[in-house]
């Protein structure tokens, strides 16, 4: 059993409980953990479970490893968490006498019960809890006055009553309020962090995109066309190809609402290419965790770039913070599909073990795979094509096949080859070998030569208009998103 010592960091509302350790309130910790500089912890990280909502518990458990959730008794453990996952520690105030013990104004109902005090309002309570606390305070009987301990400046004291037998634990409702549009099956106690969509999640997916009622209030009536750009090999120019395609499409379709979604949640690149780091979808994650799931909350997280057309929005994945919640990302996709005419998705190279990316492959209208002319890139992308078609196994970390022929991904695949060789006879022979290899498995819609100089000017200097007058280049981009080709 772990113990709190001077090297530990303890996160709880009453920071006076552990004066010899580093202590932070839940709000202080979340702010520090999500700051650009971050912070370091030398010892163990302890979280006092009664001071957290269910949404905060899920968010932190999914984002951080090594958290020690603790309480001072089984009775104060919230009903939405398994008692076996909570470590019971001795209350550091246990040695104090009843008449000198200070009362924490943020105690939960089970903690207050032995002292027969009405529940106090906490900044982490939901409205129902705060209303209950107010009623208790108004209805609480007047107790005979007893001698109080001296008032400490940093904490309000309450009259201490003789200790009474402990009452039955009171279950506190979690902070997240159910949305009127929420499907019954979505109101579960917990969300397992799986590496693939199981049957239950697939049913939720069908509800999201097929049912009349959806999980979120997306306020939209569109059904966007989805273009996904992917590759199993890094360094192929995938992100640039996605961005320049979105630039071109938005420019020639000024009446349409377009967005780019960075789905590479483990190593996002779009923010680097467009020189934007904020806002990101982490802002929507915090709202979503507290039940605010409508598109208006997500739209506040979009960013734009003056070097791109005004009808093009960007939704950036958080940098250095991975959100491992499948249903959250499904809500993000649902919002985008329902509120934009066209969605460009820049995916990551791991198309098997990240459920968000594998699902994007399955729902996309057009999938543009990007490969260079190198042997390693050609071999890797050829293997990816056969996995996506279900011709060879696509086993994830749990040993499950992610793709099958029933997904019907094959007809949606198109290829863009970057770094196409234009030199001597040897280069031409290599080109022919590569094209022959790919042509047997996928339709090639674009061949791009060595454009390192122009790409650098676009990404480093913001000159995304550098290709505006390159007719051949733009024709290739148009073929990538032409559903008839």
pLDDT per residue as tens digits for the range 277-317: 889 999 999 999 999 999 999 999 999 999 999 999 999 99
- Is there a domain that residue 188 lies in? no
- SS3 helix, strand, coil % of the chain, rounded to 5? 35, 10, 50
pLDDT confidence of residue 96: 52
Within a domain: 386? yes
Q: Are residues 358 and 475 in the same domain?
A: yes
User: pLDDT at position 148, please?
Assistant: 46
Q: What is the pLDDT of residue 473?
A: 94
| Span 430-457, average pLDDT | 91
Q: Has residue 144 been placed in a domain?
A: no
Residue 459 has pLDDT above 80, yes or no: yes
In the predicted model, what is the mean pLDDT of residues 462-467? Answer: 94
Q: Do residues 72 and 169 lie in contact, with contact meaning Cβ atoms separated by under 8 Å? A: no
Mean pLDDT for 126-139 is 45
Within a domain: 464 = yes
DSSP bridge partners of 24: 11
Q: Is the pLDDT of residue 180 over 50?
A: no
Per residue in 227-246, pLDDT tens?
A: 999 999 999 999 999 999 99
In the sheet that holds 87-88, the strands lie side by side as 22-24, 9-11, 45-48, 67-71, 87-88
* 425-439 vs 375-388: helix crossing angle, rounded to 10: 10
Q: Residue 275: how many CB atoms within 10 A of its CB?
A: 12
Least confident range from 72-76, 188-192, 296-300: namely 188-192
> In angstroms, what is the C-alpha Rg of the chain?
28
Residue 164 lies in a domain: no
Which of 117-131, 295-309, 373-387 shows the lowest mean pLDDT across its residues?
Answer: 117-131
Q: What percent of the chain has pLDDT over 70?
A: 72
Q: CB under 8 Å, gap of 24 or more: what pairs does 382-386 form?
A: 382/437, 382/438, 382/441, 383/232, 384/230, 384/231, 384/232, 384/351, 385/413, 385/441, 385/442, 386/441
pLDDT at residue 332, as a whole number: 96
Say yes or no to pLDDT of 451 above 80: yes
Task: Determine contact, residues 5/21, Cβ cutoff 8 Å.
Answer: yes
Q: Which of 114, 149, 170 is the C-terminal boundary of a domain?
A: 114
Query: Where does 283-365 show beta strands of DSSP type E?
Result: 312-315, 342-346
Higher pLDDT, 113 or 15: 15
- Same domain, yes or no, for 225 and 369? yes
Does residue 169 lie within any of the structural domains?
A: no
Integer Cα distance of 86 and 89 in angstroms: 9
Give the H or E element holding residue 259: strand 258-262
Q: Give the pLDDT score at 34.
A: 67
∠394-351-203 over CA atoms, to 5°?
80
Last residue of a domain, one of 63, 87, 114: 114
The predicted structure's pLDDT at residue 91: 87
Q: What is the pLDDT of residue 452?
A: 85
Rounded to whole angstroms, the Cα distance separating 448 from 174 reads 54
The mean pLDDT of 40-63, rounded to a whole number, is 84
Question: Is there a domain that residue 141 lies in?
Answer: no
Q: Are residues 313 and 418 in the same domain?
A: yes
pLDDT-based confidence at residue 431 (cuts at 50, 70, 90): confident
Residue 38: its pLDDT value, please? 62
Strands (E), 32-191: 45-48, 67-71, 87-88
Q: Which token pair is 437?
A: 């290899």
pLDDT averaged over every residue in the chain = 78
Claim to verify: residue 371 and residue 224 sit in the same structural domain = yes
- Boundary residue ending a domain (88, 114, 140): 114
Contacting residues for 195 by C-beta, under 8 A, at least 6 apart: 353, 354, 355, 396, 397, 398
Residues 353 and 457 in one domain: yes
Q: Is residue 110 domain-shared with residue 206, that is, in the same domain?
A: no
Q: Which comes out higher in pLDDT, residue 318 or 39?
A: 318
Query: What span, in angstroms and rounded, lies between the C-alpha atoms of 209 and 222?
Result: 12
Average pLDDT over residues 136-146: 45
Asked whether the beta carbons of 21 and 4 are under 8 A apart, the reply is yes
Is residue 182 included in any domain, yes or no?
no
Determine contact, residues 317/277, Cβ cutoff 8 Å. Answer: no
For residue 450, what are the domain limits? 201-481
Q: Which residue, 378, 43, 48, is CA-closest to 232?
A: 378
When mean pLDDT is compared over 45-54, 169-178, 473-482, the highest value belongs to: 473-482
Q: What is the mean pLDDT of residues 50-78?
A: 85
Please check the confidence at residue 35 and state whether its pLDDT lies above 80: no
Q: How confident is the model at residue 448 (pLDDT cuts 50, 70, 90)?
A: very high
CATH number of the structural domain spanning residue 265: 3.40.50.300
Model pLDDT, residue 57 = 85
Number of domains the chain is built from: 2
Same domain, 323 and 212: yes
- 283 and 429 fall within a common domain: yes
Mean pLDDT of all residues in 212-226 = 62
């Amino acid at each position: 059993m772990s113990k709190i010592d001077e090297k530990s960091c303890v996160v709880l509302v009453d920071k006076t409980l552990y004066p010899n350790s580093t202590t932070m309130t839940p709000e202080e910790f979340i702010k520090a953990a999500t700051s650009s500089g971050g912070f370091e912890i030398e010892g163990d990280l302890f979280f006092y479970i009664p001071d957290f909502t269910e949404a905060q518990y899920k968010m932190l458990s999914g984002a951080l490893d090594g958290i020690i959730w603790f309480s001072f008794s089984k009775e104060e453990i919230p009903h939405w968490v398994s008692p076996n996952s909570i470590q019971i520690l001795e209350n550091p105030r246990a040695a104090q006498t009843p008449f000198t013990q200070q009362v924490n104004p943020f105690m939960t109902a089970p903690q207050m019960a032995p002292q027969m005090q009405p529940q106090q309002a906490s900044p982490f309570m939901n409205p129902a809890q705060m209303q209950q606390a107010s009623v208790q305070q108004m209805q609480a009987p007047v107790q005979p006055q007893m001698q109080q301990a001296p008032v400490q400046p940093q904490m309000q004291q309450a009259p201490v009553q003789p200790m009474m037998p402990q009452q039955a634990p009171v279950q506190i409702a979690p902070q997240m309020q159910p949305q009127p549009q929420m499907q019954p099956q979505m109101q579960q106690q917990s969300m397992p962090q799986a590496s693939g969509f199981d049957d239950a999640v697939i049913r939720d997916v069908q509800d999201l995109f097929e049912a009349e009622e959806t999980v979120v209030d997306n306020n939209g009536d569109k059904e966007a066309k989805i273009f996904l750009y992917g590759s199993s090999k890094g360094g192929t120019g995938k992100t640039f190809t996605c961005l320049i395609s979105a630039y071109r499409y938005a420019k020639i379709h000024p009446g349409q609402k377009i967005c780019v979604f960075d789905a590479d949640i483990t190593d996002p690149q779009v923010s680097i290419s467009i020189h934007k780091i904020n806002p990101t979808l982490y802002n929507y994650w915090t709202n979503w965790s507290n039940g605010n799931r409508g598109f208006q909350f997500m739209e506040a997280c979009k960013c734009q770039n003056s070097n791109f057309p005004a009808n093009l929005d960007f939704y950036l994945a958080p940098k250095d913070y991975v959100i491992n919640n499948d249903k959250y990302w499904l809500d993000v996709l649902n919002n985008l599909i329902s509120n934009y005419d066209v969605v460009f998705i820049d995916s990551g190279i791991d198309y098997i073990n990240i459920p968000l990316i594998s699902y994007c492959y399955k729902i996309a209208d057009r999938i543009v795979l990007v490969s260079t002319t190198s042997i390693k890139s050609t071999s890797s992308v050829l293997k990816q094509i056969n996995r996506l078609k279900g011709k060879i196994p696509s086993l994830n970390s749990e040993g499950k096949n992610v793709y099958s022929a029933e997904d019907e991904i094959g007809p949606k695949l198109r290829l863009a080859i970057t770094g196409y060789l234009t030199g001597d006879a040897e280069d031409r022979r290599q080109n022919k070998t590569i094209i022959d290899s790919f042509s047997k498995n996928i339709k090639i819609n674009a061949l791009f030569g060595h454009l390192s100089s122009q790409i650098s000017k676009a990404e480093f200097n913001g000159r995304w208009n550098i290709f505006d007058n390159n007719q051949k280049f733009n024709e290739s981009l148009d073929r990538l998103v032409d559903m008839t080709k």
